[in-house]
Amino acid sequence: MAPAKKRNVSSKANVKKIKIDLEGIVERILKSRKHANDVFDILEFLQSEKEKDITCAVDACCKLFCTFLKRKDLFIGKLPGEDEAIKGEHSPDEKYKIFMRHRYNNCVEILLEHLNHETHEVKESALCCLMKFAAGQGLHPLEDLDWSEHFSFPRELIQAVVHNILSQSSDNSLLISRFQEFLEMEDVRYYVMSSIRDNVATVMDKSKGVVLPVYQSNVFTLMLNINMPSQDSELTNFMVKQEAKHEDWKAAKLHDHKRAFERMWLGFLKYKLPNSMYKKVLVILHDSILPHMSKPTLMIDFLTAAYDVGGAISLLALNGLFVLIHQHNLDYPDFYKKLYNLLEPSVFHVKYRARFFHLANLFLSSSHLPVYLVAAFAKRLARLALTAPPTALLIVLPFIYNLIRRHPSCRVLIHKPSSEDELLEDPYVMKEVDPALCHALESSLWEIKTLQKHYHPDVAKAAMLINTPLSEQEDDISEVLEITSYELMERDLKPTESKSFPLEFETAAHLLERRGEVLGQHFCLA
């Protein structure tokens, strides 16, 4: 223990020393141009193997070049080559500026490389430093242009940063979450969005239809971290203030933000996504993407494609589709038929069960649906309920009852008195994809009758309701949508006063020997 501690202490001391050294160098360079060559020492440190050294050097660089940017000690305009500058006709002052500009460019390159360093600290400090440079450049542009015509913003630098953040090999989610604080600034966000679009287009075109999970997840995380403002007046936080024509700047207009946002997403969704990514996009689509698009209807293609995929993805696409149908007047042919075919045993087991039933409840709440359709839904759900866990059953049974309540003509499903006691086979055809042809209306919900024998008392009680006419009031299924089996269990585990524990009266002498033993017939102790 002791030696390690010692080393630790010594390394700390070492770091401190370096820091002091670097600070000294920075002081010297800033004080007089004599020490200009010391800047190489800093750059050397910047490329060192030790993380501590790097972070110290990054700090030093940041301080140094920010001051230079402020002092305008860096060459402004089109930068001549280093060799040319030495040969060419320049004043010493200009020569110095050119030299420093080159060093600055070197420094930025190294920092961009560091964005994909192994350790997070280095990445983070490099990112912060780069963003400070960007801010500095925004205030004191390095390009020599007519600023009354153009808007000064370090576009290239931001593009480079984005390009490096969206790595194809390592998961940069931590760094991206750090980056989020810069995305709060409106202009940065705007330019980042357009950079992402360009970047995605180039990278994905190169990959030629092959999914790049790491890259795409990085892009997705970055895009997810973009918080769009909802009103024009909220656009106040800028990194670079434009002196003239601020109002005309695209980055200052919400409409342009929305368009950039829309193009970014469309550009991203154009390419093939890994399955998990697909689901993630669909999960957030309706509340964090669609509202911020200038034309949400452009998502129709994506959503219909997703809806046709089947399985969990279809279930999730339903939510986006609902928003489009509900708010943007989308007309979707055979929507209910597809919804009907989405009903499979797995809907009771997937994670998005609550969302699906919430939406299904919304879709089927219309009173203008044909009876055959509602009956088909009720019958199919009842049939599927034969494989459902109790938590799902507590949703499905009230759901079916609600359907019957809304459409009183469906009551024949649970009550069809006939004069003679005819016996009949279930006429319902499970395999029929068209709800109009599945003969659901001619059937009865015998499945619910079966569920009256379900092992869980709550389910059995719920199933008992069909024995008597249903009440007028609809059941509120939103309460049971999110119920988990542990919560269900807690109902019985809760200590109540009147609860007694009935006991088994058959004496137990052995683990596996008893009347009606099943386990003991197939398994043995040893």
Partner 1 sequence: MGKAPKKKNLADKVRKAKAASEIKNNPFEVKINRKKFDVLGRKSKHDVGLPGVSRSKAISKRKETLLKEYKQKNKSNKFIDRRLGEYDAKMTPEDKILQRFAIERQHSHGKRDVYNLNEEEELTHYGQSLAEIEKFNDTVGSDDESEEKGLLSAELTASHFGGGGGLLRKKTSGGEQEDEQGGQKAKSRQELIEELIQKSKQEKRERQVQKEEAQELTEKLDQDWKSIQALMVKKTPKAEHVDKPEEKPEEYDMMVRELGFEMKAQPSEKMKTPEELAKEEKEKLQKLEADRLRRMMGDEDGASVQSQVHMSADDLNDGFVLDKNDKKTLAYQDGKWNIEEETEDDKEEEGKTGEEEGSEAEDENEEDDDDVEEEEEEGSGEDEDGHSDLESEQESENEENDEEEEASSSRQQQTLSREELKAQQEAAKAELPYTFTAPESYEDLKDLLHGHTPDNQRLIMARTQKCNHPSLAAGNKLKLQKLVGFLMEYMGELATRSPPELCTIDKLIPELYALCQMFPEAAGKSMQSILGDAAHSMEEAVEVKGHAAFPTLDMLVYLKVTALLFPTSDFRHPVTTPALLFISQTLTKCPVRSLQDLTSGLVLCCLGVEYISFSKRFLPELINFLSGTLHLAVQDKASTGCMVVPPFRLSGKYSDLLVLSNSESCSSWSKKNLPLSATQQLELKSDLNKDHYRLNCLSTCLDLVKRCCLLYKDLTSFTHIFQPIRTLLSKHLLFVVLLQELHSEILDAISSASVTHTRLVFEKKKPIPLKLFTPKIVEVLDYGKKRGSTREEREKERLKHKYKKEFKGALREIRKDSRFLAREKLNEVMNRDAERKRKVKELLGSLATQEGEWKALKRKKRT
Instruction: Please report whether residue 397 would count as binding partner 1 according to CB under 8 A.
Output: no
Which residues in the 430-459 window bind partner 1 by CB under 8 A?
444-447, 449-451, 453-457
Cβ of residue 442: shortest distance to partner 1, in angstroms? 10
Residues 219 and 172: beta-carbon distance below 8 Å: no
Residues 60 and 25: beta-carbon distance below 8 Å: yes
Contact flags string 472-491 toward partner 1, x per CB under 8 A: ------------xxx-xxx-
Specify the stretch interacting with partner 1 by CB under 8 A; choose among 112-120, 143-151, 339-347, 402-410: 339-347
Instruction: Please report whether residue 523 would count as binding partner 1 according to CB under 8 A.
Output: yes
Instruction: Please report whether residue 244 would count as binding partner 1 according to CB under 8 A.
Output: no
Residues 381 and 411: beta-carbon distance below 8 Å: no
Cβ of residue 175: shortest distance to partner 1, in angstroms? 24
Cβ of residue 217: shortest distance to partner 1, in angstroms? 17
Cβ of residue 343: shortest distance to partner 1, in angstroms? 11
Compute and round to an integer the Cα radius of gyration of the chain.
Answer: 34
Give the DSSP letter string of 142-159.
Answer: SS---TTTS----HHHHH
Instruction: Please report whether residue 424 would count as binding partner 1 according to CB under 8 A.
Output: yes
Instruction: Please report whether residue 4 would count as binding partner 1 according to CB under 8 A.
Output: no
For partner 1, the closer CB: 3 or 495: 495
Q: How far is CA 55 from CA 49, 112, 125, 128, 370, in A?
A: 11, 14, 6, 11, 69
Residue type, 494: K
For partner 1, the closer CB: 103 or 456: 456
Cβ of residue 427: shortest distance to partner 1, in angstroms? 11
With a CB cutoff of 8 Å and minimum separation 6, the contacts of 258 are: 228, 292, 293, 294
For partner 1, the closer CB: 1 or 525: 525
Instruction: Please report whether residue 351 would count as binding partner 1 according to CB under 8 A.
Output: yes
Specify the stretch interacting with partner 1 by CB under 8 A; choose among 194-202, 314-322, 364-372, 384-392: 384-392
Q: Using CA atoms in the order 499, 505, 511, 515, what is the torsion angle rounded to 10 degrees? A: -130
Question: Alpha-carbon distance 439 to 432, whole Å?
Answer: 9
DSSP E strands in 191-279: the ranges are none
Count of residues of this chain found to bind partner 1 when the rule CB under 8 A is applied = 75
Helix H or strand E segment including 188? helix 186-207
Question: Alpha-carbon distance 368 to 364, whole Å?
Answer: 9
Specify the stretch interacting with partner 1 by CB under 8 A; choose among 62-70, 238-246, 330-338, 494-502: 494-502
Instruction: Please report whether residue 343 would count as binding partner 1 according to CB under 8 A.
Output: no
